[in-house]
A and B are shown apart, each in its own frame.
Chain A
Amino acid sequence: MAIRAMETFVGPARVLIVEDHPVLREVVRMACDASPFLHVVGEARTGEEALEACRTLEPDVVLLDLTLPGMDGLEVARRLRAQEDPVKILVVSGRTDDQTVFESIRAGVDGYLAKTAAVRYITDSLVRVAAGERVFSRDQERAAIAELGRLARRAREASGLTPHITPRELEILRHLGRGLTMRQVANRTGVSARTVEAHIAKLHRKLGVSNRVQALARAADLGLIDLG
């Protein structure tokens, strides 16, 4: 990785470290200083300090911790990326949930590492990001894409387009449409009567109705089932 960066080597990349934990900050700084490809130009402990430091120092790459006192790290990332010729950002975070990874990628960061990553990996990634590469694992990309899918589904349901009926719910609707009782539906689908009730309650909500007859009529309207 470092060798590839050497092909575009124009001097060490100028790094701004944004991290509120003093020990971690020191560890990363020392590791960067030990690398011929990196040169630490400044450190910041809060979001506001980070934005100010970027303005005055104009680093090539920012190492950004997401959990900062005051302004949230994601907000810092957004503001930095909104600028003309935005600085490259490598996130290092204790948070690795899908939602956070998605929001970071959405904000336009160039890489994402877990805080448990080896320091050597952090410095290597800083060099790569400064050279224009993206540093995301396959898992992170999949997580971000999965979140994108959830965002699309929520947006669709929020705008009142036909809500997403699951295959199981459709099966239950069809049985009800044929006149089966709840008990018969439970037997036919192999779940308890209570589960069937729960599905039906959800269906009523999704279809925007308050009773069985309306549910069937609406479902027929939408072409989900045939009545008669």
Chain B
Amino acid sequence: MALPRKGAGRPWAERITAMTTPQASEGLDPRLPPTRRLGVVVVDPLPVVRAGLSLLIGDRPDIDVLAEAGTAEEAVEAVRRIRRSQVVMLVGLGLDGEHDSYWLIRTVRERFPGIAVLACGANADPTAISRALFTGADGFVDKNADPVEFLQSLRRVASREMVLAGPPTEWVGAIAEGIERRRMMEMALTAREREVLRVAAEGLTARQIATRLGVQERTVTTHLTRIYDKLGVGSRVAAIRVAAHAGLVSLGTPE
């Protein structure tokens, strides 16, 4: 699949095409057998984004796009069927709902530790990035990164190098603080309490939360009261805001 050569405004296409020598692609021989090539699973809710990423990535002689997925469930299903060893899952942070991008990152980290996870976002802020890293992503690349750098990020994360491409170096401090806040929140609240908070952040009433979690409404309100105490807040809105600031929940999509 060759990228069309014509068209203005894509100087990077020429640069990528120039990267066909083994030296340029970091010593990789373009005639590598499939098992030695890097396999990528592209996960993003938007079909056009998936198509664009697949074209960009699949055109490289040392990388194959193994599968595309538009939801977290599809992604897990795709990964289960993969038998290759060098695999990267590229996860857009825009999946939401009960099985959002962070659920996917955590699930892949837990059940498929051999797969590297590269999170990507558009205009993500430090809190979203901290959350991705804390949840288990091996790196983060911003969608507005230079395409050449984007591809390099995939290769680097596959060799287990931590990658942060796009966000300025100044953000390292804010990202580190975000991770620390999240850690403290995880230690302060029990797993159940975190679950209640996550569901509450979707805007459900206590009764709806109870139905979702399969417990009594009274149990939910007890949990919430304890959560308010631990977080030092007086209302559900405040609790959710604190949780969002720590990256435990999202308010709306990060994109």
- Residues in A lying within 8 Å of B, measured CB to CB: 102, 105-108, 134, 136, 141-142, 144-146, 148-152, 155-156, 158-162, 164-167, 170, 222-224
A162's closest neighbor in chain B, by CB? Answer: B110
Contact residue among A156, A170, A222 (Cβ-Cβ distance under 8 Å from B134): A156
B191's closest neighbor in chain A, by CB? Answer: A160
A149's closest neighbor in chain B, by CB? Answer: B162
Contacts of B175 in A (CB 8 A): 148
Name 15 extra pairs, CB < 8 A, besides A152-B133, A161-B106, A224-B111: A102-B172, A105-B172, A106-B172, A107-B173, A108-B170, A146-B162, A148-B175, A152-B130, A155-B183, A161-B186, A164-B109, A164-B136, A222-B110, A223-B110, A224-B110
Q: Are A170 and B113 in contact (CB under 8 A)?
A: yes
Q: Are B134 and A108 in contact (CB under 8 A)?
A: no
Contact residue among A136, A146, A162 (Cβ-Cβ distance under 8 Å from B169): A136
| Interface size grouping (class) on chain B | 20 to 34
A144's closest neighbor in chain B, by CB? Answer: B172
Q: Are B113 and A166 in contact (CB under 8 A)?
A: yes
Give A160 to B175 CA distance when docked, in angstroms: 20
A102's closest neighbor in chain B, by CB? Answer: B172
Q: Are B163 and A145 in contact (CB under 8 A)?
A: yes
Give A108 to B177 CA distance when docked, in angstroms: 12
Q: Are A148 and B133 in contact (CB under 8 A)?
A: yes
A152's closest neighbor in chain B, by CB? Answer: B133
How far in angstroms is the closest Cβ of chain A from B13?
25
Give A44 to B161 CA distance when docked, in angstroms: 39
A-B contact pairs, 7 of them (CB 8 A): A105-B169, A144-B169, A146-B162, A149-B138, A152-B133, A162-B109, A224-B111
Q: Could you give, for residues 54-95 of chain B, a 1 whenever the CB lies within 8 Å of some chain A CB and a 0 otherwise?
A: 000000000000000000000000000000000000000000
- Is B145 located at the chain interface by the 8 A CB criterion? no
| Residue among A106, A152, A160 having the largest count of chain B Cβ atoms under 10 Å | A152
Interface residue SS majority, chain A? helix
- Is B176 located at the chain interface by the 8 A CB criterion? yes
Q: Could you give, for residues 111-146 of chain B, a 1 whenever the CB lies within 8 Å of some chain A CB and a 0 otherwise?
A: 101100000000000000010011110110000000
Contact residue among A142, A151, A159 (Cβ-Cβ distance under 8 Å from B186): A159
How far in angstroms is the closest Cβ of chain A from B120?
16
How far in angstroms is the closest Cβ of chain A from B101?
16
Contacts of B227 in A (CB 8 A): none
Contact residue among B162, B173, B187 (Cβ-Cβ distance under 8 Å from A158): B187
- Is B98 located at the chain interface by the 8 A CB criterion? no
Q: Are A152 and B172 in contact (CB under 8 A)?
A: no
Q: Are A160 and B114 in contact (CB under 8 A)?
A: no
- Is B180 located at the chain interface by the 8 A CB criterion? yes
- Is B179 located at the chain interface by the 8 A CB criterion? yes
Q: Are B164 and A145 in contact (CB under 8 A)?
A: yes
- Answer whether A106 and B110 are a contact pair too, CB < 8 Å, given A148-B162, A149-B133, A155-B182: no
How far in angstroms is the closest Cβ of chain A from B150?
16
A156's closest neighbor in chain B, by CB? Answer: B134
- Answer whether A106 and B162 are a contact pair too, CB < 8 Å, given A144-B169, A148-B133: no
- Answer whether A167 and B113 are a contact pair too, CB < 8 Å, given A106-B176, A148-B175, A152-B179: yes
Give A70 to B200 CA distance when docked, in angstroms: 48
Q: Are A165 and B176 in contact (CB under 8 A)?
A: no
Contact residue among A145, A160, A162 (Cβ-Cβ distance under 8 Å from B162): A145
Give A165 to B135 CA distance when docked, in angstroms: 14
Contacts of A162 in B (CB 8 A): 106, 109-110
Give A102 to B187 CA distance when docked, in angstroms: 24
